[in-house]
Amino acid sequence: MQAPNKQKALPFNAMTTEKILRVALYIRVSTEEQVLHGYSLEAQEEELVRFAAEHHMKVVGIFRDEGNSARKPALKRKVMQELLFCRGYDLEITGAFDEATAITVMQFQKDMNLKRDGKCGPDTWSALLCVTGVG
């Protein structure tokens, strides 16, 4: 006798029976000028949460890059490690790009069918920011 097929039920918007899209928010401010002109982390978060609610999206995580220069490579950003960790990779979040991080990035690249170079370039960064699935 086979065990019953246990498929996870997909959540639906109770009002319309649409699938609910899961999203992660990524916010960052790199200059004081951005803060002064309404682009603070708090302002960005508020706007993105409002947008998600208006479009019936479920926010499953908020990732904040505080005070990082746009010129600072993604490799040096603590949030890159947080995103890997939230995707289920066993990684200590230190903010340093060490050997363990490089190995984890290469595993993520392999899992996502990306070029395995251990660097967090545009394709890897985009894949990290994508949230898949519903519910």
Q: List CB contacts of 87: < 8 A, sequence separation 6 or more.
A: 108, 128
Domain at 94, CATH number: 1.10.101.10
| Dihedral, 75, 77, 78, 84 alpha carbons, nearest 10 | -50
How do residues 11-27 score in pLDDT, each as one tens digit? 444 555 567 778 778 88
Number of domains in the chain: 2
How do residues 103-121 score in pLDDT, each as one tens digit? 999 999 999 999 999 888 8
Say whether 66 sits in a helix, a strand or coil: strand
Could you tell me the pTM of the whole model? 0.56
Give the H or E element holding residue 64: strand 57-66
Residues 59 and 77 in one domain: no
What's the pLDDT at 98?
A: 87
Residues 85 and 52 in one domain: no
